[in-house]
A and B are shown apart, each in its own frame.
Chain A
Amino acid sequence: MKILLMGNPNVGKSVVFSRLTGVHVIASNYPGTTVEFTKGSMHMPEELGLSGETAEVIDVPGVYSLEPVSKADEVAVEMLKEGDLVINVVNATNLERSLNLTLQLLKKKIPLIVALNLWDEAAHTGIKIDVEKLQQTLGVPCIPTCAITGEGFKELVSRIKEARAGEYEYEEKERWHEVGNITTEVEEVTHRHHTFREKLADASISVWTGIPIALIVLFTTFQIIRFIGEGLIGYVFEPLFENLWAPLMLKLSNILGGDGFIHDILIGRLVDGGIDFGESFGLLTTGLFVPFGAVLPYVFAFYLILSFLEDSGYLPRLAILADNIMHRLGLHGMAIIPMMLGLGCNVPGALSTRIMETEREKFIAATLMAIAVPCMAQIAMVIGLMGKHGAVGLGIVFGTLFIVWIILGVLLNKTMKGESMEIFLEIPPYRLPYFQGLVKKVWMRIIWFVKEAVPWVLAGVFVANILYTLGIVDVVSRFAAPVVSGILGLPKEAVGALLLGFFRKDVAVGMLAPLDLSLSQLATASVVLTMYFPCVATFATLVKELGVAATLKSTALMIVSTLIVGGILNLVIGN
């Protein structure tokens, strides 16, 4: 049996999905978090009177209507043909909006059951729904639920067997009218005064207070991420590696005889007779230290804050404030979502460009993100490398990338055919993130990072060792020297780092450490590493999302703009 979860955007379908299947998916408080179909399976428990079999559950991206207005809608509507049963997730705080889709689903004559989700929030805001009456009117089971706490789920599951094709009949052009009638019939709204959250909601988008609040939020975010990241590295991860792991590795080094091929691959080279996690460059030393010791603390800090912002409902408000600037880049406000996600890792950033309506916008958003938005892994390494020189170096790197982001966006907007779409979105209410949900989400992202990133880091370290051993880096360096030294002002040894950047940006930045670069060279190299090419994982995602031709176009833009920007940087700040 195939069960489809359908409903308007941002009504909590993904949370319902997690509840039913135990498969955890990312859910946030803004429309469009789910851009892909997620499939899971659920057991139909016999003790609740069900078949005892396993059903397939599909989390369908949110739609407002079955009359598709975008490509994403079309796919969702197409999906309906394959389902055996629909759980229509309805927003109890906005019944009228939701019922439009419900009535359309009823016309499809597919077995239907309605989950009145966000029931607790509806009660809080003074909305009472007569469930019995609604059930009678629609002719299908309606169950109040609160997906986040799991209330109502036992009933929802046990009544799946009662799902049936509705008999509610109406004239198509009278649909909104019908919706209005039903809502008035079953819903009772008690007037409430503005709550603190609503006042905050108004303040965070109003003309005078919105921007200052945004600046405070972003600044605080940055400070907290640095505080947590640095703290974890300084007090937890570095001591662990230095005091526990390093002695073990030294022992292993002795057992392996202190040199030789295997020793160099696993341990790398010893620096002053000891392990240097930054420079030794073996699989078990640098290969483990970079992802776990240097990057993970920042990735954790970033996802903690991002998840909080997502669940609170602040991001759509930021989108409204940024809409103006984004239009100049050929995008609209919601494009901040791929940019923010890209700061964590470019792969989910590239995936989320699907929330953009047109191919043009998707291309601009993906290209800008891939070129000018460094991922947290790289940022962590850049901070580690340059932080000791004070804020100037970091300022040059991030300032340059920001300027590139703006200029390139303006140029793309001017040169590419077509107009930018308008922002149009429902602004969700502020919600206090649910602690357990937040923890789960951060955990999922950490696991995802470890699974996706660590193999690439290890592969990168391994390949780097092989390339050096075989002398390939030397050969490439000789060919690349005119560009790398001549235009970018970097020593030819930096070519190794640039080669590794194809695998992982964090390892690549790490490879700059032993080169004795000046601060301006470090800054140039960091900018170049961000811009010139996305890492393999991001590249593969871009191909999947944009197609081969557009990805190649995007890549050409990356290479050309890297040479220009790197050259200018070298001229301006180089020695």
Chain B
Amino acid sequence: MEKILSELKPEGKGNAMSEIVSVVKMKIGQAGKVVEIHGGAGMSSRLENLGIRVGEEVKKLNQQAMRGPVVVAIGKSQVAIGFGMATKILVEIVEEVFDENSSNG
């Protein structure tokens, strides 16, 4: 997993236009566009069924301590994703959300 991440992640900080990270690495409150899902067909279609598809935007709501599940908002719903699964979802950060009250969708 780490390998894939390092391949995709642009080296050096300042020069990249946008940052590609896994959902696990996203900051809480950050929104990102799903760019890649590294998983078998089974996992991809499970994610797809709940609306997590390449091109969709997810917002990270929180993450439980010690490799716990990540909760993201997608459209009008919230989805809890196990840590391992969340490492396989790569997103391109689109905006930093500071406003508590804003909701996406």
* Residues of chain A whose beta carbon lies under 8 Å from any beta carbon of chain B: 64-65, 67, 69, 93-94, 96-97, 100, 125, 127, 176, 189, 191-194, 201-202, 205-207, 210, 316, 319-321, 323-324, 332-333, 421-427
Asked whether, in the complex, the Cβ of B81 is within 8 Å of the Cβ of A207, the reply is no
- Nearest CB in chain A to that of B86: its residue: A422
Which segment, of B2-10, B12-20, B45-53, faces chain A? B45-53
**Cβ of B1 < 8 Å from any Cβ of A?**
no
- Given A193-B101, A424-B80, CB of A96 within 8 Å of CB of B75: yes
Question: A251–B23 Cα gap in the complex (Å)?
Answer: 74
The minimal Cβ–Cβ distance linking A473 to chain B, given in whole angstroms, is 50
- Given A94-B75, A194-B100, A205-B62, CB of A320 within 8 Å of CB of B49: no
* 8 Å CB interface, B64-105 against A: 64-69, 71, 75-85, 100-101, 103, 105
Asked whether, in the complex, the Cβ of B79 is within 8 Å of the Cβ of A176, the reply is no
Asked whether, in the complex, the Cβ of B80 is within 8 Å of the Cβ of A206, the reply is no
Q: With a CB–CB cut-off of 8 A, which chain A residues contact B45?
A: 65, 67, 69
A423 contacts which of B42, B69, B100, B101 (Cβ < 8 Å)?
B69
- Given A94-B76, A427-B79, CB of A207 within 8 Å of CB of B65: yes
**Cβ of B22 < 8 Å from any Cβ of A?**
no
- Nearest CB in chain A to that of B84: its residue: A422
Asked whether, in the complex, the Cβ of A320 is within 8 Å of the Cβ of B64, the reply is yes
Q: With a CB–CB cut-off of 8 A, which chain B residues contact A333?
A: 69, 80
The tally of residues in B whose CB lies under 8 Å from a CB in A reads: 34
Q: With a CB–CB cut-off of 8 A, which chain B residues contact A64?
A: 49-50
Interface SS of chain A: helix, strand, loop or mixed?
mixed
Asked whether, in the complex, the Cβ of B50 is within 8 Å of the Cβ of A320, the reply is no
Total number of residue pairs linking A and B with CB closer than 8 Å = 99
**Cβ of B61 < 8 Å from any Cβ of A?**
yes
Question: A96–B52 Cα gap in the complex (Å)?
Answer: 12
- Nearest CB in chain B to that of A193: its residue: B101
Question: A401–B45 Cα gap in the complex (Å)?
Answer: 39
Question: A207–B49 Cα gap in the complex (Å)?
Answer: 27
Q: 11 extra interchain contacts, Cβ-Cβ under 8 A, other than A202-B62, A426-B80, A427-B71?
A: A96-B75, A97-B49, A125-B76, A176-B48, A189-B105, A191-B103, A207-B64, A320-B80, A423-B80, A423-B81, A426-B77
Question: A425–B48 Cα gap in the complex (Å)?
Answer: 12
Question: A542–B76 Cα gap in the complex (Å)?
Answer: 39
Closest 4 CB pairs of A and B: A422-B82, A64-B49, A427-B78, A422-B85
Question: A107–B24 Cα gap in the complex (Å)?
Answer: 37
- Given A93-B76, A422-B81, A422-B83, CB of A320 within 8 Å of CB of B51: no
The winner among B51, B61, B79, B81 for most chain A CB atoms within 10 A is B51
Asked whether, in the complex, the Cβ of B68 is within 8 Å of the Cβ of A206, the reply is no
Question: A319–B66 Cα gap in the complex (Å)?
Answer: 15
Question: A321–B68 Cα gap in the complex (Å)?
Answer: 8
The minimal Cβ–Cβ distance linking B64 to chain A, given in whole angstroms, is 6
Question: A97–B105 Cα gap in the complex (Å)?
Answer: 13
Asked whether, in the complex, the Cβ of A332 is within 8 Å of the Cβ of B78, the reply is no
Cβ contacts B25-51/A at 8 Å (1 or 0 each): 000000000000000001001111111
- Given A202-B61, A424-B85, A427-B80, CB of A176 within 8 Å of CB of B53: yes
The minimal Cβ–Cβ distance linking B21 to chain A, given in whole angstroms, is 19
Q: With a CB–CB cut-off of 8 A, which chain B residues contact A206?
A: 62
The minimal Cβ–Cβ distance linking A332 to chain B, given in whole angstroms, is 6
Asked whether, in the complex, the Cβ of A424 is within 8 Å of the Cβ of B75, the reply is no
- Nearest CB in chain B to that of A67: its residue: B45
Q: With a CB–CB cut-off of 8 A, which chain B residues contact A324?
A: 64-68
The minimal Cβ–Cβ distance linking A191 to chain B, given in whole angstroms, is 8
Question: A65–B42 Cα gap in the complex (Å)?
Answer: 12
- Nearest CB in chain A to that of B78: its residue: A427
Q: With a CB–CB cut-off of 8 A, which chain A residues contact B103?
A: 191-192, 194
Question: A510–B83 Cα gap in the complex (Å)?
Answer: 46
Question: A332–B69 Cα gap in the complex (Å)?
Answer: 10
B79 contacts which of A127, A191, A192, A424 (Cβ < 8 Å)?
A424
- Given A94-B77, A189-B105, CB of A69 within 8 Å of CB of B49: yes
Asked whether, in the complex, the Cβ of A424 is within 8 Å of the Cβ of B82, the reply is yes
The minimal Cβ–Cβ distance linking A200 to chain B, given in whole angstroms, is 13
Q: With a CB–CB cut-off of 8 A, which chain B residues contact A194?
A: 100-101, 103
Asked whether, in the complex, the Cβ of A69 is within 8 Å of the Cβ of B64, the reply is no
- Nearest CB in chain A to that of B44: its residue: A69
Asked whether, in the complex, the Cβ of A323 is within 8 Å of the Cβ of B64, the reply is yes
Can you pick out 17 interface pairs between chain A and chain B where the beta carbons lie within 8 Å of each other? A67-B45, A69-B42, A96-B51, A97-B51, A97-B77, A125-B76, A189-B76, A194-B101, A207-B65, A319-B80, A320-B68, A333-B69, A422-B84, A424-B46, A424-B47, A424-B80, A427-B80
Q: With a CB–CB cut-off of 8 A, which chain A residues contact B100?
A: 194
Question: A69–B49 Cα gap in the complex (Å)?
Answer: 10
Q: With a CB–CB cut-off of 8 A, which chain A residues contact B85?
A: 422, 424
- Nearest CB in chain B to that of A68: its residue: B45
The minimal Cβ–Cβ distance linking B99 to chain A, given in whole angstroms, is 11
Question: A312–B38 Cα gap in the complex (Å)?
Answer: 35
Q: With a CB–CB cut-off of 8 A, which chain A residues contact B67?
A: 324
Q: With a CB–CB cut-off of 8 A, which chain B residues contact A426?
A: 50, 77-80
Q: With a CB–CB cut-off of 8 A, which chain A residues contact B77?
A: 94, 97, 426-427
Q: With a CB–CB cut-off of 8 A, which chain A residues contact B62?
A: 202, 205-207
Question: A323–B64 Cα gap in the complex (Å)?
Answer: 9
